[in-house]
A and B are shown apart, each in its own frame.
Chain A
Amino acid sequence: MATDVMPAHSETSRPEDNYLTASKGIMSWLVTLDHKRIGVMYLIGTMTAMFLGGFLALLLRAEHISGTPTFFTHDQYNQLFTLHGAIMVFLFIIPSIPAALGNFILPVMLGAKDVAFPRMNLCSFYLWVIGAIFFICALLTTGLDTGWTFYTPYSTNTSQTNVVLATFGAFILGFSSIFTGLNFIVTIHTMRPPGMTWFRMPLFLWSLYATAIIQVLATPVLGITLLLLAAERMFGLGIFDPKLGGDPVLYQHFFWFYSHPAVYIMILPAMGIISELISTFSRKPIFGYRFIAFSSMAIALLGFLVWGHHMFTSGQSEMVTIIFSVLTFSVSIPSAIKVFNWLATMYKGSIVLATPMCYALSFLFLFTIGGLTGLFLGALATDIHLHDTYFVVAHFHYVMMGGTLVAFIGGLFYWWPKMTGRMYNEFWGQISSLIVFVAFNLTFFPQFVMGSRGMPRRYYNYLPEFQVYHVLSTIGAFLLGFGLLLAAIVLIVSLFKGKKAPANPWGAATLEWQCGSPPPLANFEKTPTVGNPYDMNSVVWDPDTESFIRRGDVPPVTD
């Protein structure tokens, strides 16, 4: 599988030139300790998971073409939405940006030779694979019909599906995530080269750092929750089972204590990518660097205090509900700061609508909708009405898919030349971003309307008055699937037909563009010059190499 991404490098004189060609054979990939190769393997894995999850989503939408049974039975439908959610959350969104892009980019961007613990990094990847195998086993044996949240007592007492298998899968994936996060924190703390101060770190690294903190602090709680759940189901532990004196709402507290911060594990790195993209393609230093960096940290910390807003109708005490509501609003501020700062970065810039920038602008549009609709759900009185309806479904898809997935694809297009050494077809890249943008809105905007009209989520059948919205959404979903497939095709075709990529095609000033494309095995042939990561004046277009190069006459700016 790993060999697909190795472009034929017949023209290179020295095969040890870069990390892709340094050693050959499938084993050299499977046991590699190189963060770049691990990143590429993660990329292949998470993309596979995404297309699997997306396929399930299309089946779901197909079922909703009518309000009566269409293609699937009750049980099949319930398994489809559960596995769609579980695969997308645990196998794709959480590892996608940190583990795939982050693993590849973080050490290079930082100017380090590798992450601090390369073996742990590889171990993290294999834990991901094992966790994925558990999920696939659950899918192939009995399926899973509890919803990705595994709410008790349905998951422990009633469900006839293989909950324990999936639970262990999620447990193992949790450790994969912890290891990645731990590695990143240590790398950023101890592996910075001379001159790379905290406030010279690119914002993508700040966002990965904030993400890693959440991964390390929140995931263990999920781990213990899932262990308790498995023990409950296998032995009748009784902690969550009302019949044995337990409390099912306690499970929800435990679960959301992880799963709400997990939302920020998903979105924070996406915000980091957008910071890089907007600044590079506006050819402007990012506006308000420190505000963006600190807002990442603020989101990471506030993210731990708002889990109860998933439970406004669950029967937790009124006082708790009110406290969680006010804290929830507090977390909207750092996100707003970021959006305003990104806009201000574009002001008086030199904006080029390259494919990654198209995705970044889609992100701004979609994430703004996603973020603003969060206000309706944070306000108690309106949440009571909107909770567990399609409004929530639309809201989190705007944030998770319109936000994270779109930023992920943008970042992938951005770093693709660095990762593979190939340029993709710019025109078709832009077309794909346009299709994704339009189709996304067509899919999820109708869901806001039907949600506020009272369409509950996770419904197999629905009342006829909702049909028009469902049909629109289904058409959008298939179009969206096509758009994503097109993006994938553009990238894959580039591997075979793409031009050779220069070291710095975009004119970014961060360190990863100072090494070759693809990077050599040890990342840098000579020690990189660490300066202001957003000092675009330090690089100029060089028509000879068709690349941006560092300008000799500009002294490195010290903050």
Chain B
Amino acid sequence: MATAVEPHESHEDSHDDWHHQPFSAHHFDNAEQQFDSGKLGMWLFLVTEILFFSGLFCAYAVYRSTHPEVFIYASQFLDKYLGGMNTIVLIFSSLTMAWAVRCAQLGQRTGLVTLLGVTLFCAALFLGVKTFEYTEKAHKRLLWSGAFVKATDIGKQSQVFEVGKPLPKAEFEDRVMASLDTIKKFWWFACVIPLVLIGIGYGSGSRPWRTTGFAGLISIFGILAGIWISIEIHHAQHAGDHADGHGDSHAVAEHEGEHAEDDHGEHDHAQTAEEKEAAEIDAEALAIQEKIGIEASEAPDMILGEMNNAIPAISTPVVTNSQADAPRNANIFFSIYYFMTGLHAFHIICGMIAITWLMVRSVENHFRPDYFGPVDFVGLYWHIVDLIWIYLFPLLYLIGH
């Protein structure tokens, strides 16, 4: 990305050998200068990335210090196991990325392609887990501040929000449901695109198309695997928490439970009511699962089907997580959570595109021991994305744990 790779231009004048090599840019004197420029450029770009996030870390620090109770309260709704797993996945992908750079330096093409594929899969896995987390939170109405408001004047002022009470059946939930349905339909369609690409690739003998297709397939399966693993982790945790053990908004229940045990005796009633409701939902989900009788791992579309069931149905919004004992402005935490993780996820997606590009080029055998700059630079980028997550994880997930 930061490298200036120019098509070779034929100059009559007395250039040395280096200028006749495929990816040498004419305005550099030698390969070393080209590599150094690229590397410095990449480092500077990474500095801008860090500063980009630093604004958000500042906002985090400000609100964490002015509203500590909000952070302690709200972070309990994040699933540290899912976050932890994502952390491991990303650290592992950094390893494979670094290894891929080494392969590029040594000219090992097969190793390079394989390791890039693994990195891509890990990235997709991360996104899958994130998809599950976002969906689950949306269903529990754990959203940013403005999501609990209504437009004052539909039409002219529809973008302007004012504080209001949570709506009994908010519009955004329908949107979330709709978007999940879209994913459900879309994943087949999403597979079609890479398959077509592969087909074109084989048909026309174009390796770049083919490679792009395979990278797309890896990404789709990575995402689906991430969603599936999330559901499994979610269930496993719930089995530990409750005897009847099936997925629902366990975090809420857990939280409620803690409060009940601690000092809020009056919450007992609410808790029972809620658990009862949760159990009903569980039973329903279980029934559907049994009726279908398919293990989630067997068919990816069932994963999505089950995911919808693993989350309480839309008609029974779990606002019961007692808005009453939530600290004022608790949603500011989720504003920050969604913005930071969302921006990070966007960087993951950019990284996946870059890795796909690298895969295409490495299959084409572009990288050699004296020209591996792009792999190195994307590698640096990937480590930074990883590093940012390593900060985000404890700052968001591990407060008060």
Tell me the A residues contacting B by CB distance below 8 Å: 33, 112-114, 116-120, 157-158, 160, 164, 178, 182-183, 185-187, 189-191, 216-221, 223-225, 227-228, 231-239, 241, 243-247, 250, 254, 257
Contacts and interface: CB of A to CB of B under 8 A. Distances in A.
Given A119-B4, A217-B51, A244-B331, A237 B146 contact: yes
B54 interface: yes
Contact of A246 (B37, B145, B159): B145
A84 to B, nearest CB: 25
B6 interface: yes
Interface in B136-151: 144-147, 149
Given A118-B25, A232-B146, 14 more contacts: A113-B27, A116-B4, A120-B41, A220-B51, A220-B55, A233-B160, A235-B146, A236-B149, A238-B144, A238-B329, A244-B161, A245-B145, A245-B328, A257-B55
A24 B67 CA distance: 63
A157 B48 CA distance: 30
B145 A241 contact: yes
A228 B59 contact: yes
Contact of B146 (A33, A183, A224, A238): A238
A21 to B, nearest CB: 18
B45 A235 contact: no
Nearest to B143: A235
A399 B163 CA distance: 43
The 7 closest A-B pairs by CB, nearest first: A236-B146, A238-B145, A245-B329, A224-B55, A236-B161, A244-B145, A114-B27
Nearest to A112: B27
25 contacts: A113-B26, A117-B4, A117-B37, A118-B4, A119-B4, A120-B4, A189-B37, A189-B40, A191-B28, A191-B33, A216-B47, A217-B47, A220-B52, A236-B145, A236-B146, A237-B335, A238-B329, A238-B332, A239-B336, A244-B146, A244-B149, A245-B67, A245-B331, A246-B332, A247-B62
Interface string B1-31: 0111010000000000000000001111000
Nearest to A222: B55
Contacts of A244: 145-146, 149, 161, 163, 329, 331-332, 335
A234 B6 contact: no
Contacts of B391: none
Contacts of B54: 220-221
> Looking at B27, B55, B343, which has the most chain A CB atoms within 10 Å of its CB?
B27
Interface in B55-114: 55-56, 58-59, 62-63, 66-67
Contacts of B157: 160
B40 A185 contact: yes
Contacts of A117: 2-4, 37, 41
Contacts of B336: 239
B59 to A, nearest CB: 6
Nearest to B331: A238
Interface of B: 2-4, 6, 25-28, 33, 36-37, 40-41, 44-45, 47-49, 51-56, 58-59, 62-63, 66-67, 144-147, 149, 156-157, 159-163, 328-329, 331-332, 335-336, 339, 343
Contacts of A228: 55-56, 59, 339
B55 A225 contact: yes
Contacts of A245: 67, 145, 328-329, 331-332
Nearest to B334: A238
Given A224-B56, A243-B163, A237 B4 contact: no
Contacts of A254: 55, 58-59
A186 B44 contact: yes
Contacts of A235: 144, 146-147
Nearest to B3: A117
Contacts of B52: 220-221, 223-224
Contact of B41 (A112, A118, A186, A231): A186
Nearest to B342: A231
A320 B41 CA distance: 35
A33 B335 contact: no
Contacts of B45: 182
Given A236-B161, A237-B145, A239-B59, A186 B37 contact: yes
B395 to A, nearest CB: 16
Contacts of A116: 4, 37, 41
A182 B4 CA distance: 13
Contact of B6 (A33, A219, A220, A232): A33
Contacts of A223: 52
B2 A120 contact: yes
A157 to B, nearest CB: 6
A118 B145 CA distance: 44
B55 A231 contact: no
A144 B143 CA distance: 30
A1 to B, nearest CB: 26
A190 B55 contact: no
Contacts of A114: 27
B55 A216 contact: no
A381 to B, nearest CB: 28
Nearest to B149: A236
Contacts of A120: 2, 4, 41
Between B4, B48, B156, the greatest number of chain A beta carbons within 10 A of the residue's beta carbon is seen for B48
A187 B44 CA distance: 12
